[in-house]
Amino acid sequence: MQSLLSVTLLLLLALTATAEANKRAKNHNGGRHDKSKPAPECTSAEMQYGKCVPETGDCGEGMREANCKDRSDKIPCKIPCNWKKDISDCKYKFGPWGACDAATNAKSRSGTLKRALFNAECQTTVKVSKPCAPKVRKTRGDKKLN
């Protein structure tokens, strides 16, 4: 009687483990997030991607049009808010900021193309600039005491 109970319990445990493994295998996607995929009949070279258009403002979540042959899809995209509009589909490696130019009150740096996203046409080098931060003078009373 005890052996029959042990065998039944063992079978029940095995069935539960198998069902759980099947459930995990069905929902497993290789550790990647589920993203909209282009049509399977198109290769990545054949896909034509439009610019990412943010839902609000000039950065953030948005949609991009993907075309291949006679099929057109809208896929989600994102423009980080610290990226420049004209180079948004291109990734660059930038050097350090240069010294502040007193005449223009701006400092600049250049970047070389690291990779182009979604078959974008990118410049091989770009130069960006930003206003210089105003110098804050500390008075004697503002210094830290050791």
Q: What is the pLDDT of residue 81?
A: 74
Average pLDDT, the chain: 75
**Residues of the chain scoring pLDDT < 70:** 5, 9, 11-15, 17-41, 82-88, 119, 136-138, 141-146
pLDDT tens, residue by residue, 4-24:
767 776 766 666 766 665 555
pLDDT tens, residue by residue, 114-135:
887 776 778 899 998 888 887 7
- Listed by start position, the domains of the chain span 35-82, 85-132
- What's the topology of domain 35-82? Heparin-binding Growth Factor, Midkine; Chain A (2.20.60)
DSSP for the chain reads -HHHHHHHHHHHHHHHHHHHHHHHHHH--TT--------TTS-TTT-EE---EESSTTSEEEEEEEEETTEEEEEEEEE-TTS-GGGTTEEEEE------BTTTTEEEEEEEEEEESTT----SEEEEEEEPPPPPPPPGGGSPP-
